[in-house]
Structure 1
Amino acid sequence: MSELKRLAYSILAFLREQTKSQAWNSDERESLEVAMQCLENVFKISSQDIHLAVSPPLTEIFSAAVTKDLIWNAPSEFTPSAQDVIRAEQLKNEGNNYIKEENYRAAVDSYSQAIELDPNSAVYFCNRAAAQSKLNNYTAAIEDCKRAIAIDPDYSKAYGRMGLALTSLNKHSEAITYYQKAVELDPENGTFISNLRVAEQKIGEASSPTGAGLGFDLASLLNNPSFVSMAASLMQNPQLQQLMSGMMSNAISGPAAGVGGLTDMGSLIQAGQQFAQQMQEENPELIEQLRNQIRTRSFSGSNEDQS
């Protein structure tokens, strides 16, 4: 109860300080006063109970939290013991092994324990970011990358992993900034260079009226013998031949010419759906490969080594 009283007194002092501001209207000021009365009545405290005050005052804590120079993001001044440093490194190595085993939750736990023992290591935060990303906890990964960068502004891997997390949230413009910094710090790293190029390509596709929606390399697809063979076989289908004939008739004579031709967008969509369905029936393995290519298109880093 004594700790609650100290907390309540801190809040009371904070609210009392706020009432001195001229920014409140009458309703807001009345609400503040009601809140203070509730604290005084429930916890049996008053502004005279100076012995309950904590240091630093809540006003200073609040001010530090809303400034741009937020101290929590900076390296800790805590100095771990030699024994803690050794144990933290052991926990980090355990986390790396869990990553290899794809036990990402256990990896997060190990890295978190290492951070508790030694909060000054950029590596621990950066490795935990990698594990968080594997669990799709991209916001947590971004925060860990920020901590790693604050500790070591020249740690290229932290920038690279920040880029990956931002990419997963479709924040490609922000990701490019971090990839560029990663490449600047480690210009020989092929993963950073590749990810930067893909992010730039994503931006280009989003701004291009023809590129949006293309999730695979069309040139590679047309050079795929299995796809070409399947397409040639499908084109022998009489129904598809009739649809293609109608399309060509429209292209030559105009949309109003051919009865039975592709005279509207609905017919075109229908033809495409039929073609796709028959492709799926003809070679489901190839179609699945194409789908996987679209899903996993090209961001490297999934097998990235841990530090």
Structure 2
Amino acid sequence: MSSKDYSTAISAYSSAIEIDPTSPVYYSNRAAAYSQVAQHNKAVEDAKAALTIDSKFGKAYSRMGHALFSLGKYDEAVDAYEKGLDVDPTNSVMKSGLETAKKQLASSSSSSATSSGTDALAREAGTDAGPGLGGFPGMGGAGGMPDLSSLLNNPMLTQMAQNMMTNGGMEQLMSNPMIRQMAERMGSGGGGMPDMSQIQQLMQDPSMQEMARNMMGGMGRGAGGAGDGAGNNMYG
């Protein structure tokens, strides 16, 4: 493990387990080695095996938490770290891991909620959010980019633009501080394309959601009824 020869370490720990299958240390250390070669599912299995032998073996919880986090199972990682801190409350590595897992879980939940909100707006407009932009026909080009020729001739977008101009949509847009700042940056040559976090903030803004519904003007409703490993003392 010290020389970072992880495949050989896995082989050596496996031999140790054959000799003494009752040691949680060997399973826990092999779990750490598996994580170093990105075999996180095997790391979880070994951490569980170590805890079956000794439910108070703190490092096994730490290694399980790391492996679960690496697999994107943030809620399970949080649970593993919390259980580990129950048996080893002063473990700074698990405290840090728990904090990171909680933040990632919250971020993941927020992204999921934003995606659900976008889908709901699309359904209200009588469209499918789909792979394109808002599900409008002709807007799902290669890589999710719009087909510009279809975009310019899209009657739904023409209708939306007309609704925006007649219903005060432009004024509403510019009243949003984030959009106003983007427009100012674009006007000064400093760019202005929003990043994903800004888009998510806009989509979560109730006033922006209401404005989107107004701009769509009920289009389409007639037809349908409307994403520890090495730092935790590898040994023992």
Q: TM-score, normalised by structure 1?
A: 0.40
Match of 2:41 among 139, 144, 151: 139
- Shift of residue 207, structure 1, vs aligned partner: 2.6
Matched residues in 2 for 1:261 and 1:151: separation?
Answer: 61
Identify the residue that residue 183 of structure 1 maps to in structure 2: 85
Aligned Cα root-mean-square deviation (Å): 3.3
- Shift of residue 202, structure 1, vs aligned partner: 0.7
Matched residues in 1 for 2:109 and 2:38: separation?
Answer: 27
Matched residues in 2 for 1:191 and 1:158: separation?
Answer: 12
Matched residues in 1 for 2:90 and 2:232: separation?
Answer: 15
Counterpart amino acid of 2:17? Answer: I
Q: Which consecutive residues of structure 2, in runs of 5 or more, have no partner in the other structure?
A: 115-172, 196-227
Matched residues in 2 for 1:260 and 1:119: separation?
Answer: 67
Percentage identity across aligned positions?
Answer: 36
- Shift of residue 199, structure 1, vs aligned partner: 0.5
Give secondary structure in 1 for the equivalent of 2:14: helix
Matched residues in 2 for 1:301 and 1:136: separation?
Answer: 10
- Say whether residues 1:168 and 2:96 are aligned partners: no
- Shift of residue 260, structure 1, vs aligned partner: 11
Matched residues in 2 for 1:121 and 1:260: separation?
Answer: 64
- Shift of residue 304, structure 1, vs aligned partner: 1.9
Aligned runs of 1:100-115 on 2, under 5 Å? Answer: 100-115=2-17
Matched residues in 2 for 1:159 and 1:198: separation?
Answer: 15
Do the aligned partners of residues 102 and 260 (structure 1) sit closer, same or farther apart at CA in structure 2, a change above 3 Å counting? closer
Identify the residue that residue 156 of structure 1 maps to in structure 2: 58
Do the aligned residues in 2 keep the contact of 1:122 with 1:148 (CA within 8 Å)? Answer: yes
Counterpart amino acid of 2:79? Answer: T
Aligned runs of 1:117-132 on 2, under 5 Å? Answer: 117-132=19-34
Give secondary structure in 1 for the equivalent of 2:30: helix
Count of aligned positions: 138
Identify the residue that residue 230 of structure 2 maps to in structure 1: 302
- Shift of residue 153, structure 1, vs aligned partner: 0.8
Matched residues in 2 for 1:195 and 1:260: separation?
Answer: 41
Do the aligned residues in 2 keep the contact of 1:191 with 1:301 (CA within 8 Å)? Answer: no
Identify the residue that residue 107 of structure 2 maps to in structure 1: 205
Do the aligned residues in 1 keep the contact of 2:35 with 2:229 (CA within 8 Å)? Answer: no
Do the aligned partners of residues 109 and 260 (structure 1) sit closer, same or farther apart at CA in structure 2, a change above 3 Å counting? closer
- Shift of residue 204, structure 1, vs aligned partner: 1.4
Identify the residue that residue 146 of structure 2 maps to in structure 1: none
- Shift of residue 122, structure 1, vs aligned partner: 0.5
Aligned runs of 1:1-307 on 2, under 5 Å? Answer: 99-208=1-110, 262=186, 268-269=192-193, 301-305=229-233, 306-307=235-236
- Shift of residue 169, structure 1, vs aligned partner: 0.3
Q: Deviations over 1:258-301 (max 9, x none)?
A: x99849xxx743x98xxxxxxxxxxxxxxxxxxxxxxxxxxx54
- Shift of residue 208, structure 1, vs aligned partner: 3.0
Do the aligned residues in 1 keep the contact of 2:32 with 2:229 (CA within 8 Å)? Answer: no
Q: Deviations over 1:60-91 (max 9, x none)?
A: xxxxxxxxxxxxxxxxxxxxxxxxxxxxxxxx
Matched residues in 1 for 2:30 and 2:186: separation?
Answer: 55
Do the aligned residues in 2 keep the contact of 1:129 with 1:141 (CA within 8 Å)? Answer: yes
Give secondary structure in 1 for the equivalent of 2:55: coil
Do the aligned partners of residues 251 and 171 (structure 1) sit closer, same or farther apart at CA in structure 2, a change above 3 Å counting? same
Q: Which has the higher contact order (CA 8 A, sep 6+)?
A: 2
